[in-house]
Amino acid sequence: MRLTCRLLFAGCMLWSLSITAAIEPISTSIAVGMAAALTGFLARYQNVLYYFQECCRPEWISYNKTGLKYDLSTKLYGQHVAAQVILKAVTGFMNNENPKKPLVLSLHGWTGTGKNFVSQLIAENIYQKGMMSNFVHLFTATAHFPHEAHINKYKTQLQEWIRGNVSICPRSMFIFDEMDKMHPGLIDSIKPYLDFYDNLNGVSYRKAIFIFLSNAGGEKIVEVALNFWRDGREREEIQLKDLETALSLSVFNNKNSGFWHTSLIDMNLVDFFVPFLPLEYKHVIQCGLAEMVSKGRAPDKEVVETMARDLNYFPKEERVFSMQGCKVIPARLDFYV
């Protein structure tokens, strides 16, 4: 049992014993009997409490492969490569009762291509409370670590946060957005938790998941997608092998990226570099229709097409790929409805 579950159980036990103090003397014997019965019930059926308070137990943390597969195939648009890699990586890791190291995924691509959304889908298919779970932790570089002068304080706080939360629940998830903007020293400070250690100071991190989100390498991904388009090849023909090597080298050689200054790559601590392709007009349409449904509106393709045509695309003449992806759609759609 985890700490929060223990505290909940103890609190209920204390409450059952204290109710006698609030009852008139004539009813004390009845109250004592009720308290004893309740105490006995709670002691025998502790698992009932776990349904009311999130705990690090299967009732709250349970991987749903079927759900993740369905979500990736029906809610994520234009990302066949990322969907395949994510499903295999997460499934293999979650089905392994004794992994050798934490799962480390590095998601790359231009803004609006679905990186944050995929992180949300993974969380929703592992944790009953999804992104609202106490065991899912989201960090954004510019919001949580804005001042380089405070880097040493950030290092200490981040290490303590990771260590403390994994101590409470080994199946914790940590998501780092804007990794390309993170100070390299801060990235290096979490490196020990990503490595092949049985434990560090008595804490095992091997069942944790770390997800890095970054725009770094986006240009290389676009270059590959454009080459396929210019060669007359279908987008769906693009495979991970067409992108992974070029992507990892692009990230490693990008001196403006925090990754470049760290040893995460050359020490093979990142399990998968996951590329997110630039979205086409048809994918923007899909995003717009889904957004209308999510807002409780009847999907109107004519409205969505009008909105999609007004967005910016590249190359300028051919207008193949959306420059903003799906990120601006929630705000833009309201203007056209």
| Radius of gyration of the chain from its Cα atoms, rounded to whole angstroms | 24
Q: Does the annotation place 232 within a ligand binding site?
A: no
Q: Does the annotation place 92 within a ligand binding site?
A: no
Q: Under 8 Å CB-to-CB from 94, ≥6 apart: which residues?
A: 63, 65, 126
Q: Does the annotation place 4 within a ligand binding site?
A: no
Q: Does the annotation place 109 within a ligand binding site?
A: yes
**272 token code pair:** 């998968």
Q: What is the spatial distance between Cα 83 and Cα 280, in angstroms, rounded to a whole number? A: 17
Cis peptide bond upstream of 58, omega within 30: no
Q: Which residue has the tokens 């008595």?
A: 202
Q: Does the annotation place 114 within a ligand binding site?
A: yes
Q: What is the spatial distance between Cα 199 and Cα 201, in angstroms, rounded to a whole number? A: 6
Per the CB < 8 A criterion, the answer to whether 53 and 8 are in contact is yes
Q: What is the spatial distance between Cα 32 and Cα 100, in angstroms, rounded to a whole number? A: 52
Q: Does the annotation place 111 within a ligand binding site?
A: yes
Q: Does the annotation place 112 within a ligand binding site?
A: yes
Q: Under 8 Å CB-to-CB from 307, ≥6 apart: which residues?
A: 288, 329, 332, 333, 335, 336
Q: Does the annotation place 116 within a ligand binding site?
A: yes
Cite the annotated binding site by residue number. 109-116
Cite the annotated binding site for ATP by residue number. 109-116
